[in-house]
Structure 1
């Protein structure tokens, strides 16, 4: 089949690679416009745009998929189908109508659970034991289309959102290719999503990534792992932001826990109290500095009898 692939971040690369290596023809790639990043705030191409150019593919970067010029370009490409992997913009009806077989979306949850931009992060925050990925027919509703296929993935007790996304991106690429192969063969069957079990996964804001030390240790642990690597969990110390790498919750009753947010520095570790139990800090990153082990930070900051907020 002739494909136009839509995707933007690194998590979309395994699918793009699988499609480039397949018998399908990738006619072009659609990705978000270059974004400013880094300390210099220089415009940088998305990972998908960079890889597509290396492969010699046309790269379309409309400010919005509603752009008439983009719609004309898409029509001229005459794709049979448009696979989508974390593109980052809503596809309007005018674009949905262009490919003969429509748009199919690789989504990193078991729909109808966690519809939205941050399914893996929300699953981790909620304490889900199992997550997965599915390929569904894109329609106007938010991740509401019928599902062609799915796979499951267990959530490890130390998994970060980055860990889970890496695994799901790889296994999801194979699933997406299988679905496209079945569509080409005329054997694909999309099943409507059930009405029950719907949950939403809006993007996690920087403010929401702030740690609530009044939550139980297990919830703090899940929160930090869900925000790793993006947008990054944080707290404040002496009025300045302190970024947090994954923490380790102490077993219940291990030892008396400090009060919520209170820091306790030992010979080998730094503990912070929570609403129920304590967590051991891993790496931290003070404002304007590099990430460092919590003990190194504590030796310099001397946070005894102070709180993180």
Structure 2
């Protein structure tokens, strides 16, 4: 089939590559180049870079206006496919492809509808997640589901770990569904069950509250890793917690209090401590927590809040 593919981040790239092998991707729709890094270098999205490598025309747009719609209409696509594009597809673009649009979403719908399903699943302590391919409709992530897969969330996996795995298995799921749509064998069913929402995370969501139980703090730390990145305040500065792990055998500490116990740097929570593994103090590079601790001029009384 003639496909238009819409996606932006790296998790969408495996799906684009696989679909390009099986069908004719006539154009890729992605968000405009963004300024990245401390030097604010204008950088194409991972999907744009992959499309360029594959020799596919790229339409860069943050707003799906009449111009974008007309360009896609001129390509006469059979189907639109979307994977984490970062914007809503509305009419008349929604009905421009002959078969409409399908979306690969990284949750078991109707759980975690929205922009950050895996992150919210990890933060909530879910033990299982998955991916679903559904028909795009005007209501957010509410269309009938063609196919889905399930995957356990490992006790120590970050949202990045889970998304990386789902981007690969989800690509297969999506490609098989597109194949079924092409040969007329695809069947879909309405979503059933409780709806939960997964809005885009902000920096506020990444602030660790050490007064919460250790399991909740650890789940949040993993859920916001790598983006937007877990942190606490050390004085008035942001102190990033890049990696941690439970330390239920450590001596009890007040919430947020940091101490060296044996060879471990641990921080107190509302229950048992967590071990700080990799951290990034303000203005410095990522480092082992033990190295950070050794470099402190006065280690007594360190409190993260």
Shift of 1:244: 0.5
More divergent stretch after superposition (254-263 vs 286-295): 254-263
Please give the alpha-carbon distance, in whole angstroms, between the structure 1 residues aligned to 2:247 and 2:39.
Answer: 40
Shift of 1:238: 2.1
Equivalent residue, structure 1, for 2:25 = 26
SS for the counterpart of 2:290 is helix
For the Cα contact (< 8 Å) 2:5–2:29, is it kept in 1? yes
1:271-286 maps to which residues of 2 (within 5 A)?
271-286=266-281
Please give the alpha-carbon distance, in whole angstroms, between the structure 2 residues aligned to 1:150 and 1:170.
Answer: 13
* Over 4 Å off, 4+ runs: none
Equivalent residue, structure 1, for 2:39 = 40
Please give the alpha-carbon distance, in whole angstroms, between the structure 2 residues aligned to 1:303 and 1:102.
Answer: 60
Equivalent residue, structure 2, for 1:170 = 168
SS for the counterpart of 2:204 is coil
Aligned length: 304
For the Cα contact (< 8 Å) 1:265–1:304, is it kept in 2? no
Unpaired runs of 5+ in structure 2?
Answer: none
- Say whether 1:223 aligns with 2:220: yes
1:228-307 maps to which residues of 2 (within 5 A)?
228-251=225-248, 254-301=249-296, 302-307=298-303
Please give the alpha-carbon distance, in whole angstroms, between the structure 2 residues aligned to 1:130 and 1:141.
Answer: 25
Equivalent residue, structure 1, for 2:149 = 151
Shift of 1:265: 1.4
Unpaired runs of 5+ in structure 1?
Answer: none
Shift of 1:46: 0.3
* Residue among 142, 146, 167 paired with 2:140: 142
- Cα shift readout 1:135-180 (whole Å, capped 9, x = no counterpart): 0000111100000000000111110001100110000000001110
RMSD: 0.9
For the Cα contact (< 8 Å) 1:221–1:246, is it kept in 2? no
Q: With structure 2 as the length reference, what TM-score do the two structures score?
A: 0.98
Shift of 1:247: 1.1
For the Cα contact (< 8 Å) 1:104–1:138, is it kept in 2? yes
